[in-house]
Structure 1
Amino acid sequence: MNNSDILADKLDFTYKKEENLSEVRNFITLCLNYWYIFLISIVLCVAAAFLYIRHLPNQWAVSSKIIVEDNKEGPEKSLTSGVNADLGSLFDIKSNADNEVEILKSRSLIKSVITALDLNVHILDNNGFRKVEMYADAPFSVGINYKKDSLKAGSYEVSILDNNHFKIIGKKSEFNAVSSFGKPVDLGQYDLTLNKTKNFNAEGTYRLVVTTFKEAEKKLSADFNASIDDKQATVIDLQLNYEDPDRGEVILQKLMQIYLQNNLANKVRLADSTMKFIDKRLILVSSQLNDVEKDLEQYKVNNKISDINAQSKALVDGADQYQSKLNDNQVQLAVVNSLYQYINDSNKPQLVPSSLITKDVAFGTAINAYNEMLLKREQLKSSFIEGSQVIADLDRQIKVAREALKNSLMNYRNSLQTSQAELKAQNSTINNQIANAPAKERVYLDYTRQQSLKQDLYLFLLQRREETAISQTATISSCRILDDAESDDSPFAPKKSLIYIIGMFAGVFLPVAGLSIKEMLNIRIQNKSDIERHTNVPLLGEISRSIISRKKLLVYCDPLSIISEEIRALRTNLKYITDKGRLNVIMFTSSMSGEGKSFISLNLANSIALSGKKVVLLELDLRKPRLLKSIGIDNSYGFTNYMISSDKSNMEGLIQPSAFNENFYMIASGPIPPNPGELLMDEKLKLLIGELKQKFDYVIIDTPPVGLVSDALLIEEFADITCYVVRQNFTFKSQLGIVNDLYKTKKVKQLYLVVNDIPLQNNAITGYGHGVRSYGYAMVDQHDGNKLNSLLRKLKPVTR
C-alpha cells in the first residue's frame, strides 16, 4: 500500500467520523426541537409513576430465626449414638440444616399455616384509591366453615348498617342479603360468620375477598423465604414479605410453631416404632424361655435330679469363663439374626431399631441415618408426588443404604460365628474332661445353658424397653426458635425514589425511541444532512416554504419576502457559474411532479430580468404543461405549434412578452402533442435554442421530471447548467440515486441541486434582511393575514 492509498484511507475515516458526529448533532438538534414533547412525556410518566405508587400496597419485611440443634445428642441418644465415617458417608446427602430449610418451604407446611389462620380470607378497606388489607384495625373478624373440598374464589362488599346488622353483596354473583353479626351467612360453598372486634365502627363499607387455597399457597410461597446465611452455623433465617406487618408477624410465628410440632411428632414416631419392635421380640423370647424352663423341670422330674454332683460342679466351674463369653456371643448373634430377618423380610422400608446392638456403635449410627432417610421420605411425600425425581433419587439412596445395612449385618454375623466357633473349641477341651460324666448330668447342663441364654436375652430386651420408654416420654424437638417474628419499622416497598427515576428515564426514552423510529421509517428527505449523506452533487441554493399560494410569482407580487430574497441568492450563485464562459442555457428538472421546479424556474427568470438581463422562459414540459397557465398566460399557441410547422425561421407569436418585466419573455408549450419525445428529437429544437441564445442573455428551460420520462435527457444536450430540484419531506431518499447516476455518468453538464420547501425556521437567518426585527425585508407572516397559521408554523418542529 503506497502513501497515497494510506492518505486516502485516513481521509475516508475522517470523513466517516465527521459524518457520524454530524448525524449525532442532527439527532440532538431534532430532539431539542421537540422539547415540548419531552416535557409532556416526562410529566405524564412521572404522573403515571405517582399513580402507580399510590396503587401499590406497602410491603413490610417480617423476619425470625430458628436454630437446628445437633440431632446426635438428646434423650434418645441410646437409640442413635455412635459415629462411623465409612458408613456415615453413605448417607451424606445434605446437611441437616439444609434439609430443614426444604421442609420449611414445603407446600404441606404452607398449607397447614393457611388452614390454621384462614389466610385465603382478606378484609380490604373499600374507601380510597389503594385497597389496603385490614387485620389488627379491622372492625370485624371472619369465621369460615367450608362445605366443599373444592373452593372457588369469591368477592363481596360488606356494608355495616348499624351495631347489629350488615349487608353483604356478591361482586361476581347476584347474592344480596342482610344479616346479623355472629350469625352464619350461607354462601353455597361455605358459611361466613362476621364477628365484631374492639375496633368496630357502626358505619363503613369494606371488601371481603375469599381466594382459593391454591392461590393463597402460591402467594405465601412467593412471599416467604428460608435461607442459611452462615454455612458454618445451623441457624435458619426466615423472612416473610407482607402487606400488613401485624398479620405478617402472626403468620410467621404460626409457621414456626407448626414446624416445631411436626418436628417433634416425627421423633415420637421413631420412638414408637422402636417400642413396637421390642414388644414383639419380648413376646417371642418369653415364650421360648418358658419352653426351656418347662423342659428342664420335666427332665429333673423324670430323672429324679435334685442337685449337681460335686465333681460335675468342679468341671463346670472350670468352663464358666468360656461359657459366659459364649453366651454373650450367642445373644449378639440372635439379635443380629433377628434384625437381618426383620430388614430382609419387610415388604417395604420400615424404621429399624438401632439400640439392640450395643457392642458395635457403628451399626447404631448406620441404622439411625437409615431411619432419618425414611422420615425425610415421608415428609417429602407431602410436597412431591410418587415417581418424581426427588422421591426416586431418595428411594435409590434408601435402597443402597438398606443393602449396606444387610451386608454389614452379614459381616458382623460372620464375625460372631467365627468367635463362637473359637469359644466352642476352647469349651470343648473342658467338655472332653467331663465326657465320662453321667449322661443325665450332661443333658441337665445343656438345659441350663439354654435357660441362661434365653434369660439373658429377655433381660436385655427388658432393659432396652425401659430405656426407650424413658426417651419417649422425654422427647423434645431438635429445633427451637431463636428470634420471634418481628417486622421492620418501615415498609421496604414500593421504592418510591426508584420508581420516580424510572418514570423520568421513561419520559426521556419514549420520545427518543419514537423519534428514532420515525427517522428510521421516514423514506423522504428530511433535511440537508440527508442530502449530504446520499449524494456529493454540489448545492446551488435553498428555497423556504411558502405559506401563500405557489401559483403566484413571489418575486413580483412580494419582493420583500424571504423566498424572494432566496431566489435572488440563487441568481447570484448562478452568476458566478455563468460568467465563466457564457453559460446562459439553464435547465430545471426533478425526480417527480410536485417538487417545485416550475415555481423556482418562473421566479428565477423574473429575478434575473429584474437585474437588467434579458431572459426567456421556455416551457418544455409537453406532457403536463401548467407553468404559464398558472399565471394566466395563453397556452393555445407555443412550442408544439412551432415544431410541427414547416417554416423553421418563423418565430412570430412564439415568444410572448410578460406583463411583469420588459426583459422577461416566455415561450408556452402549446397543445399537448401525441409524441413529445419525437418532437424533442427534431433538429428544429437545436435551431430554436441557438436562436434564443443569440437574442437573450439567459434561456431558462422548464423540463419534465427526469425520474419519470426521458424528455429532460433529450433537452440536456442544449443546456449549459442543469438545476435538479428536490423537495424536503417530499422527495424520496432513494430518488437521489438518479442524481448520483446523472452526476457520475456525466449525462448532464454542470449538475447542481436546489432544495425546495425548507421550513422557515430551518432557513431563516437572524440579522439583516431576515430577522424578526429585520431592516428592509418583511417576514412572510406579515403577508399571511392568518395569525393562526403563523402560530402553528412557529410551533411546528424543525426537521434539520
Structure 2
Amino acid sequence: MTDNNQTTQEESLFDSLAHKYVPYWPLFLLLFIFAMAGAWAYLQYLAVPTYKTSATIIIKDEKKGVDESRMTQSIDAFTSNNIVENEIKVIQSRALARKVIDELGLYAPQFEEDKFRAIPAYTSSPIKIKLRNPEEARETEKVYFAFDKGKQQVTVGHKAYPMNTWVNTPYGELMFLPNDNKRDTPSLPLFFAIMHPKKVTDNIISNLSIQAENKLSTAVNLNFTDASPQRGEDILNKLIQEYNQVAIDKRNDLAAKTLEYVNNRIQLVGKELKALENELVHYKSSQGVVNLSEQGKMYLSSVGESDRNLSDINLQLAILSEVEQYVVLKSNSGGMAPSTLGIKDPALTQLLQKLYDSEIEYQRLLSTTAENNPILLALASEIDRIRPSILENIRSQRSALQASRSSIASNSSKYNSVLSTIPRKERELLEISRQQATKNDAYNFLLQKREETVLSYAPTDEDTRIVDMAESSLYPIAPRSLYVYLIAAVLSCVMGVVLISGKEMMNGKLLFLSEILAYTNIPVVAELQYTKTKDKLHQKPTDGFVIEEFRHMRATIGLFGRTFVKKKIMVTSSIAGEGKTYVSTNLAHSLASSGRKVVLLDFDLRNPATTRLFNLTNFKGITEYLMEDIEPYQIINSSESENLFVVPAGSYMGDSTESLLNGKLEDLFCYLEAEFDYILVDTAPADIISGASLLTEFCNMTLLIMRHGYTPMSIVKRLSKNNKFKFMNNMAIVFNGVKPRGLFKGHHGIEYGYGYELNYGNNAYLAKNT
C-alpha cells in the first residue's frame, strides 16, 4: 500500500511539473538553442585547452622496496633513505616550486592574443624573459612586444631593448633571452605578463598532483595540468631535477662539515702523534732502551684495547658536547649542524637532520614572508619541539658513555699491578708506547673517515630513479566538449525554470488549481476556459466549447448536494471582476436548456450587471419589492431562453442592506421555490459588501468564483479563516477564466497547464464528500 502511495505521489509530482513547464516548451527550445550556440562559441573562441603531463619516479624508502645501491652506499657514508610520504611533501613544497619558476622564468609568461582569449606562446615566442628581482617587479597583465631578428632587439611600446643584456623597464630590471623552446612561428600579436612569484607558485602547486602507486610501492606518479604541453613537461622534468639536486646538496653540505671536522681532528692528532714519536725516540736514545721485554709486550697488548675503547668514548662525549652547545645556543637562524661522526645512535642523527632542515626552511620563509605568517609560526613551533628531544637524547647518551668510561677506568687497576713488576726504564717506555698506539689508532680512524667523506662528494646514486620522463597527453583533457554541451543544456533548463517560476511568483495572483487545493479544503466544481469574446451569455452554435463546459458544471452541481429537491444556488466572489455574472447567467441558461425551470436573481444592487445583460434596467426588481408593496410575480421577467426567468436588481436607492432585513426576502424565496426548480442568486462580492452573508440562509449551495491571474493569492491563503465565507452553505469553487500557458497559446483543453483535469471522474469525489 505504501509503495502504491509513493508511486502515486511521484506521478503526481511529475504531472505537476509537466503542467507547469511543458506549455513553455518553445521558451525551453529557444534557450536550448542559445545554450548550444554559446557552448560552441565558448569552445571555439574562449576556452583554452588544458593538457595533462605525467611522469613516474622511484624513491628510495627505508621501509619499502629493495635497495639496489649497496655498492654506492658502501662508498657514500651520507646516502639517505627516505619515507615516500615525506618525499612527496618535499616535491610539492613551495621551495622546489620556486626554484622551478626561477629556472624557467615562469613569472613572465608570453601569449598570443586571439580575439577573445590568450593562447600560451611558450613554443612560439622568439624570446623568454628573466627578471633580476622577481619579487620587486611591477605586476602587469598585458605588455605588447615585437622582436626584430635582424637587429636582435625587442620593442616594447616605442622603445627598443637589446637581447642578452640587463635593461631597466617600467616593469623592473629584466633581460630578454632567446627562447630555446621555440618551434612554431607566431601568427597573432604577442604580449607578456609579469606575475609575482608567489602567485605563480600557488598556481603550480594547485595544478600539481603526486600519488604513490600503492602503499607497498615506492613508485610515485607526478601529474601536472597546463595549457602548454611543452611547458608542462619542462616543469615536471625541472621539478624532478631540482628535487634530486636538493638531496645531493644536502648530502654534500653534511659531508663538507664532517670533512672540516675530520681535517681539524687529523691536524690535532697528527701533532700529538708526532710529539709522542719524538719523545719515544729521545727516551730510547737517552736511556739506552731498545726493545720491550716479553712482559712489557704483554702489558701493552692488554692495555691497548682498553685505551682504544676509552678514546672512542671520549670522542663521542666531545661530539655530544658540540651538539648540545649548537642546540642550546642557536636560535632559528639556521646554518650547518655539527658533525655527528662517531655517534652510533641513529635517532639522534635523524633528530639533528630534522632540526637542520626545519631551520633552513624557516630562514627561507622568513626572507619572503612576515614573522606572523601561520606557516612560519608552525615551523618555529616544530623547531621548539625538536630541541628538547635532542637534549634529552644527549643527556641519556652522555650518562651511558660516562658509565662505560668509569667501568673501563676501574679495570685499569689490574694493568697497574702488572706494570709495577716491570723495571722503571721499561715501565716509562711502555707508557710512551701506549700513548703512541692510542694516538696512532685515532689517527688511522680519522684518515679512514676522511676518505669516506671525500668519496661521498661524487655519488653515483640519486634519491630517485626516473621511470618515465615527463610526457604530455596528445589531446586536451579540458574542456571536454561533451561536458560543456551537457552543462549548457542543464543551464538552459534551469534558466527556463527560473524565468517561468520567477515570473509567476512575482505575479502574486492565483494561477494554479493546485494552489486552491493546497490552501483550502473547499471542493472545485469547474475550471472554465478564458474566452476572448465580449459576450457574457453564450448561446450560439459557435460557442459549443463553452456550452459544453457549463454542461459539465451542471452535471457536477447535480451530484453536489443531490439530497436537496430544490436547489437554491448563490453565486458570489471575493472581489469584483472575477466573473460572477458570467458564471451565473451561463449556468442558468445551461440548467434551463436541460428542461428545468430556472430563475436568476440579481442581488448585486450597486452594480447590477445581470440586469443590464438582459436589458431590464428600467424594470421593477428586487429593490422595489423590498421597498414597495408589490407581489413577487410582478418582478419576474421572462428571457429569450425557454425556462429561464430573470429578477432584475431594480432601481438603486442607496444603502439597501437594511431593507434586506425587513422579512420580505423569506416570502420571496418561498414563492420562487414553489415556482422554479433552480434558483440562482447573483450577489455582490462577499469580501466587500455583507449582502452575500445575509442571503446565505436562503440558499442551500454557494458557488465562489475565483479568476485565474486575477484573484490575489492573499485571499486564497486566508479563505478558510475568512468569517464572511466560513458560514456559507455548501460552498464550492469555480475556477474561472483559465488562460492557456506558454509562448504559443493556441492549444485547447481543460487543464491549460495550470491544474488537474476536471471531468466526470471528479464527480465521484464530490458525491462522496457531500
TM-score tier by shorter-chain length is 0.7 to 0.9
Provide the residue aligned with 2:736 in structure 1: 756
User: 1:502 aligned to 2:493?
Assistant: no
Q: Specify the alignment match of 2:626 in structure 1.
A: 643
Contact 2:621 2:650 in 1 (8 A): yes
What per-residue deviation string (whole Å, max 9, x for no partner) do you get for residues 47-106 of structure 1?
333333332222222222333347895656478599xxxxxxxx9xx9533332222111
1:176 is aligned to 2:167: no
What SS does structure 2 have at the residue aligned with 1:689? helix
1:5 maps to what in 2? none
The within-5 A match list for 1:35-74 is: 35-54=25-44, 55-69=46-60, 73=70
Contact 2:20 2:753 survives alignment (8 Å): yes
1:799 aligns with 2:754: yes
> Does the 8 Å CA contact 1:34/1:797 hold for their aligned counterparts?
no
The Cα of 1:593 is off from its aligned counterpart by 2.2
Q: Residues 693 and 739 of structure 1: is their aligned pair in 2 closer, same or farther, counting only changes over 3 Å?
A: farther
Cα deviations by residue, 1:286-340 (Å, 9 ceiling, x for unpaired): 4544665677788789xx52326x8x84542342332323332332233233223
CA contact (8 A) 1:67 1:481 kept: yes
Q: What is the 5 A alignment of 1:101-116?
A: 101-116=88-103
| Equivalent residue runs for 1:302-451 within 5 Å | 305-307=287-289, 313=293, 315-346=295-326, 347-348=329-330, 351-356=337-342, 362-363=344-345, 365-366=346-347, 368-378=349-359, 380-381=361-362, 388-390=377-379, 392-393=381-382, 395-397=384-386, 399-422=388-411, 424-434=412-422, 437-438=423-424, 442-443=427-428, 445-451=430-436
Q: TM-score, normalised by structure 2?
A: 0.80
What is the root-mean-square deviation in Å for CA atoms of aligned residues?
4.5
Distance 1:16 1:589 in 2: 38
Q: Per the alignment, do residues 483 and 658 of structure 1 end up closer, same or farther by CA in structure 2, a change over 3 Å counting?
A: closer
- Aligned counterpart for 1:282 among listed residues 243, 256, 266: 266
Deviates more, 1:636-645 or 1:255-264: 636-645
Q: Hey, what does 2:759 align to over in structure 1?
A: none
Could you list the runs of 5+ residues in structure 1 that have no partner in the other structure?
Answer: 1-9, 83-90, 170-174, 763-787
Distance (Å, rounded) in 1 between the aligned partners of 2:559 and 2:309: 127
Q: Describe the superposition over 1:733-763 as per-residue Cα deviations: whole angstroms up to 9, x where unpaired.
A: 675688768999994455444332133799x
CA contact (8 A) 2:210 2:222 kept: yes
Compared with structure 1, are the counterparts of its residues 196 and 730 closer, same or farther at alpha carbon in structure 2 (3 Å cutoff)?
A: same
Deviations 1:257-279 (A, max 9, x none): 22222221111111111111122
Q: For residue 31 of structure 1, what is the aligned residue in structure 2?
A: 21
| Structure-2 separation of matches of 1:168 and 1:561 | 85
429 and 79 in structure 1: CA distance in 2 versus 1, 3 angstrom threshold: farther
Distance 1:463 1:749 in 2: 115
Q: Distance in 1 between matches of 2:511 and 2:734?
A: 14
Cα shift at 1:219: 1.2
Larger-gyration structure (1/2): 1
| 8 Å CA contact retained: 1:142, 1:195 | yes
> Given residue 601 of structure 1, which amino acid in structure 2 is its aligned partner?
S
Q: Which moved more, 1:411-420 or 1:217-226?
A: 411-420
Amino acid at match of 2:57: I
2:221 is equivalent to residue 266 of structure 1? no
Label 1:366 to 1:584 Cα distance change in 2 as closer, same or farther (>3 A): closer
Q: Distance in 2 between matches of 1:790 and 1:469?
A: 92
User: CA–CA distance in 2 between the matches of 1:161 and 1:332?
Assistant: 68
Q: 1:250 to 1:574 in 2, by over 3 A?
A: closer
Q: Which of residues 638, 643, 654 is equivalent to 1:673?
A: 654
Letter in 1 for 2:288: S
Q: Which of these residues, 466, 469, 479, is aligned with residue 481 of structure 1?
A: 466
Secondary structure at 1:34 match in 2:
helix
Asked if 1:686 is matched to 2:704, the reply is no
Distance 1:339 1:194 in 2: 50
Task: Letter of the 1:324 partner, please give it.
Answer: G
CA distance in structure 1 between the partners assigned to 2:488 and 2:208 by the alignment: 29
Q: Offset at 1:119?
A: 0.8
Report the CA distance between 1:355 and its aligned residue: 4.4
Offset at residue 42 of structure 1 (A): 2.8
1:516–1:204 distance in 2 versus 1, CA, 3 Å? closer
Matches for 1:478-627 after TM superposition, within 5 Å: 478-512=463-497, 525-531=510-516, 539-549=524-534, 552-555=535-538, 560-567=543-550, 570=553, 583=566, 585-606=568-589, 615-627=598-610
Structure-2 change in CA distance of 1:187 and 1:150 (3 Å): same
SS in 2 for 1:119: coil
Corresponding pairs, count: 730
% identical aligned pairs: 24
Aligned equivalents of 1:749 and 1:212: distance in 2?
Answer: 80
**Match of 2:466, SS?**
strand
| Cα 1:153/1:797, change in 2 over 3 Å | farther
Q: Does 1:150 align with 2:136?
A: yes
Gaps of 5+ in 2: 63-68, 367-374, 756-770
Q: Of the candidates 720, 730, 744, which is equivalent to residue 710 of structure 2?
A: 730
Q: What's the secondary structure of 1:278's corresponding residue?
A: helix
1:132-281 paired onto structure 2 within 5 Å: 132-138=119-125, 140-146=126-132, 149-156=135-142, 158=144, 160=146, 176-177=157-158, 179=160, 182=163, 186-191=169-174, 193=176, 204-281=188-265
What secondary structure does 1:381 align onto? helix
TM-score by length of 1: 0.78
Distance 1:626 1:194 in 2: 92
Give the superposition deviation at 1:111: 0.8
Q: For 1:176-231, what per-residue CA distance to the aligned partner results, in whole angstroms no more than 9, with x for missing partners?
A: 32537748673342346375887686974223222221221111111223332133
Change in Cα spacing, 1:106 to 1:543, as seen in structure 2 (3 Å) is closer
Deviation of 1:722 after TM superposition, in Å, equals 3.1
**1:413–1:483 distance in 2 versus 1, CA, 3 Å:** farther
Letter paired with 2:694 = L
Q: 1:290 to 1:729 in 2, by over 3 A?
A: same
Separation in structure 2 between the aligned mates of residue 168 and residue 366 of structure 1, nearest angstrom: 57
Residues 427 and 225 of structure 1: CA distance in aligned 2, closer, same or farther (over 3 Å): same
